[in-house]
Amino acid sequence: MSLVGKKAPAFNAQAVINGGEIVADFSLEQYIGKKHVIFFFYPKDFTFVCPTELHAFQEKLAEFEKRNVAVVACSTDTEQSHWGWLQVPKAQGGIQGVKYPIVADTTKTISMNFDALFGEYEVDENNQLVANGPMIAFRALYLIDKNGVVRHQLINDLPLGRNVEEALRVVDALQFNEENGEVCPANWHKGDTAMKATHDGVANYLAKH
C-alpha cells in the first residue's frame, strides 16, 4: 500500500528523545505547519545493520535541521530497550550519541498503519490469533510535508541499508518544488537545473542534457 499523497497515520506513543529522556506521549502532530519530517523504521535494537543507519542519520542531522526537517526513528522495541541501546558506545555496537527521537511501537500498530510491518496476524484452525512473520518493521522511510502529507516512501527488506544522502536529496527536491514550482528530473541534486512541468519544459531540458 502506498501512502504517498495521503495524510501520514496519526499516533501517540512513548519515545526516547535527546539521547536518553523517555516521554510518554510523542506524536508527529507537533511538526504540522512547522517542519518537514523524515520518519523511518528499522527492524530491531541491538542488531547489526540498524546502528549503521541510526548513526548515519545522526551524522547528517545538522544538514536535515538546516533544511528545517525533523528526523524521527521508530521500531517495535520498547522505550526501555531504546534507552538501553542509547547507553552503549558506538564502538561496542550501540547508538550512544543519537539525539533525534526514537519511537517505541510496542503494539506494532504504528508499523501496521504505515504498512511497514513484516508479518501479519491471522486466525488459525483453533480460532486463535497467531503471528505470520517476525512482526518487526521493514526498513521503511517516509518524507512528510508540513501539511502532514506523505510525499515520498521507500521500503527496503531487512538486509538492505538505506542511503541517507538520498533522503537528503529527496528533501531538497521536494523543497525546491514547493518554493519554485519547477519539477526535478532524474538524478537531480540541489543546485542543478530543474524544469517546468510542460512539454516545452521537458523538451528544452532534454535538449540541453
Active site residues per annotation: 50
CA 146 from chain centre, in angstroms, equals 15
Amino acid at 106: T
Say how far apart CA 208 and CA 33 lie, in whole Å.
38
CA distance 136 to 108: 8
Across 74-111, b (16+ Cβ under 10 Å) vs e yields bbbbebebbbebbeeeeeeebbbebebbbbbbbebebb
d(CA 25, CA 112): 19
